[in-house]
């Protein structure tokens, strides 16, 4: 005889326990109008039968799935993975689970992830856009899903945004390098279209200009030339000629690629070249090499504000939109020293 391939339902549990389906449903919700003995019997039977709650059906009835979607373009990036871990902990304390979706930096994938989130009746979406493309955010807004953008705003989209002060981060990096005696620099850009990239770069260049450092003393390399590289020889070749003594990188991830290539070819960091990154990922990964880095003044504040704004938007969709810029500071480590 062919076995029943259908998933276990409340009706199956009711039949097994000789009770009504309504009683099973109430017992699984811990309805205290049902005796504790009956609740435990039904829960034990449900577990033995392998019952899994149909959250989508429940969400359709109640209007609440208690599920939040997180759409990120680069999940392996320690900055994102550490931040999402904190977001997950905070949401769980408020009765929400998260669904993490990675677009790998492709807009069409981000749109697909947004539609998947909408079809799963999520109560809110936290989106890390890697470009200024509006399609994904517009699709979410059209479906009236509470949305919080992280790390950058998207032009023309009215929604809650939480990011750090990218421009000031560039200022702090330039001030530190200049005051340490550096006069020749390399700036490594972030991805093209990334909203934080021009702000970090402009803060760095504006400040150096105020100190009298002209464009001829600042070399600029696109970050997308470095990030895909895994071969130190190829990366070291790209860094030539090395006439600079100070490097400011769009983020820590790129900075570590560059640092490893320099170390592999005999350069000493910071004795020969000083480096500053952005995101302060070492706060959650202390086993990494010391790297001076710009990061949020309060490491947990970014996650807290993201969750606070999303939960507020879920509870009150008419609340005025907030665009919040959190202050940054420079976490100095052994990768920056005075140039002799």
CA distance 171 to 169: 5
CA distance 21 to 130: 47
Return the pLDDT at 3. Answer: 46
Q: Are strands 328-331 and 292-296 parallel, antiparallel or unpaired?
A: antiparallel
CA distance 300 to 83: 8
Contact 181, 340 (CB under 8 A): yes
- Check if 65-164+298-327 and 166-296 are the same fold: yes
Return the pLDDT at 222. Answer: 87
Return the pLDDT at 228. Answer: 67
Return the pLDDT at 282. Answer: 86
Q: Where are the domains of the chain?
A: 10-53, 65-164+298-327, 166-296
CA distance 276 to 203: 14
Give the CA diameter of the chain.
85
DSSP state of 99: E
Rounded to the nearest integer, the mean pLDDT of the chain is 89
| 51: CB partners within 8 A, 6+ apart | 8, 9, 10, 12, 13
Return the pLDDT at 2. Answer: 43
Pick the CATH number of 65-164+298-327 from 3.40.50.720, 1.10.3720.10, 3.40.50.2300, 1.10.760.10: 3.40.50.2300
CA distance 5 to 17: 21
Closest CA to 104 of 143, 131, 122: 131
Return the pLDDT at 293. Answer: 95
Identify the bridge partners of residue 69 per DSSP, sorted by sequence position.
Answer: 99, 125
CA distance 148 to 143: 14
User: How many C-beta neighbours within 10 Å does residue 183 have?
Assistant: 15
Taking CA 149 as the corner, what is the angle to CA 57 and CA 256, rounded to the nearest 5 degrees?
115
Residues of the chain scoring pLDDT < 70: 1-5, 54-64, 227-230, 337-340
Return the pLDDT at 229. Answer: 67
- Determine phi and psi for 137, rounding to 5 degrees: -60, -40
Query: Tokens for 185?
Result: 């620099």
| Backbone φ/ψ region at 285: left (φ over 0), alpha (ψ -120 to 50), beta | beta
Threshold 0.85, pTM exceeds: no
Handedness of CA 330, 218, 275, 199 (dihedral sign): positive
Return the pLDDT at 56. Answer: 58
Contact 173, 255 (CB under 8 A): no
CA distance 166 to 149: 15
What stretch of H or E contains 106? none
Query: Tokens for 112?
Result: 């697909």
Q: What CATH number has the domain spanning 166-296?
A: 3.40.50.2300
User: How many C-beta neighbours within 10 Å does residue 315 have?
Assistant: 9
Closest CA to 330 of 217, 176, 211: 176
Query: Tokens for 187?
Result: 């700036």
CA distance 234 to 261: 9
């Amino acid at each position: 005889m062919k076995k029943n391939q259908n998933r276990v339902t409340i009706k199956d549990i009711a039949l097994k326990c000789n009770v009504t389906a309504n009683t099973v449903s109430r017992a699984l919700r811990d309805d205290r109008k049902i005796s504790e003995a009956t609740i435990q019997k039904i829960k034990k039977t449900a577990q033995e039968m392998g019952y899994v709650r149909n959250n989508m059906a429940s969400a359709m009835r109640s209007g609440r799935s208690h599920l939040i979607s997180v759409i990120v373009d680069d999940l392996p990036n320690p900055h994102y993975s550490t931040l999402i871990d904190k977001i997950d902990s905070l949401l769980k304390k408020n009765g929400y689970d998260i669904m993490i979706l990675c677009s790998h930096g492709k807009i069409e994938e981000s749109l697909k992830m947004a539609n998947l989130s909408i079809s799963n009746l999520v109560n809110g979406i936290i989106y890390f856009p890697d470009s200024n493309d509006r399609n994904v955010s517009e699709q979410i807004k059209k479906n009236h899903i509470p949305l919080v953008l992280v790390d950058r705003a998207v032009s023309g989209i009215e929604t809650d945004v939480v990011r750090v002060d990218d421009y000031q981060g560039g200022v702090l990096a330039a001030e530190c390098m200049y005051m340490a005696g550096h006069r020749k620099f390399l700036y490594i850009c972030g991805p093209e279209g990334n909203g934080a990239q021009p702000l970090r770069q402009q803060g760095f260049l504006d400040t150096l200009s105020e100190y009298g450092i002209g464009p001829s003393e600042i070399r600029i390399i696109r970050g997308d030339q470095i990030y895909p590289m895994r071969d130190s020889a190829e990366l070291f070749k790209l860094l030539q000629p090395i006439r600079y003594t100070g490097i400011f990188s769009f983020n820590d991830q790129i900075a570590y690629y560059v640092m490893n290539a320099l170390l592999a070819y005999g350069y000493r960091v910071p004795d020969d070249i000083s480096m500053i990154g952005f995101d302060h990922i070492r706060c959650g990964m202390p086993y990494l090499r010391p790297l001076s880095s710009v990061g949020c003044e309060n490491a947990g504040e970014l996650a807290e504000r993201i969750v606070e704004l999303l939960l507020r938007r879920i509870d009150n969709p008419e609340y005025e939109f907030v665009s919040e810029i959190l202050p940054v500071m420079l976490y100095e480590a052994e990768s920056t020293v005075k140039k002799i």
